[in-house]
Amino acid sequence: MLAITERAIRASFVNCTQGEAKRLAVPNDLETRPWVDLDFLGWRDPAATQRAYLVAESDSGLVGVALRVAPQTGRARRSMCSLCLTTHTGDGVSLMTARKAGRDGRQGNSVGVYVCSDLACSFYLRGRKDAGRRLDETITLEEKIDRTTTILGAFLRRVLE
Ligand SMILES: [Zn+2]
């Protein structure tokens, strides 16, 4: 993705109030992020670990989504990220829930997704970060990236609709 500013990030949120978007914790190292290797920007709030955020490009511009991270069960198990299809053990994958945008969200409707707990899917796909095991696939990196952005796009549409 292209580099984005804190201002653009705060303006992109579709499922929280303007006040929340103004106050939420945006990473302070945006200048040094490896943007060309990012399919989306995702991060956890270091001061409130149940909060996570994801910002991605879409046909209608940047879309930012505030997520609530479900508490971990503490059981050792394998689970797979539904965005990048990386398998992690233990707490490596979390259920993250986004309140839907607009009236649906105000009525309490939300959409959930299982995603790498550190939201570093782009790095797992590119082998910049090692999760120990990935699916044994013959498709190219470009195809994997395409798949991830397609799945992410579908998730964002469900938040927006
Ligand atoms: Zn992932």
Q: In this model, does residue 54 exceed pLDDT 70?
A: yes
Which pLDDT tens digit goes with each residue over 56-65?
999 889 999 9
* Location of structure tokens 């839907």: 100
For residue 101, report the distance from its CA to the centre of ligand 1, in Å: 23
For residue 42, report the distance from its CA to the centre of ligand 1, in Å: 10
Please give the model's pTM, rounded to 2 decimal places: 0.93
List phi, psi (to 5°) of 10: -65, -35
For residue 15, report the distance from its CA to the centre of ligand 1, in Å: 21
For residue 116, report the distance from its CA to the centre of ligand 1, in Å: 4
Q: In this model, does residue 84 exceed pLDDT 80?
A: yes
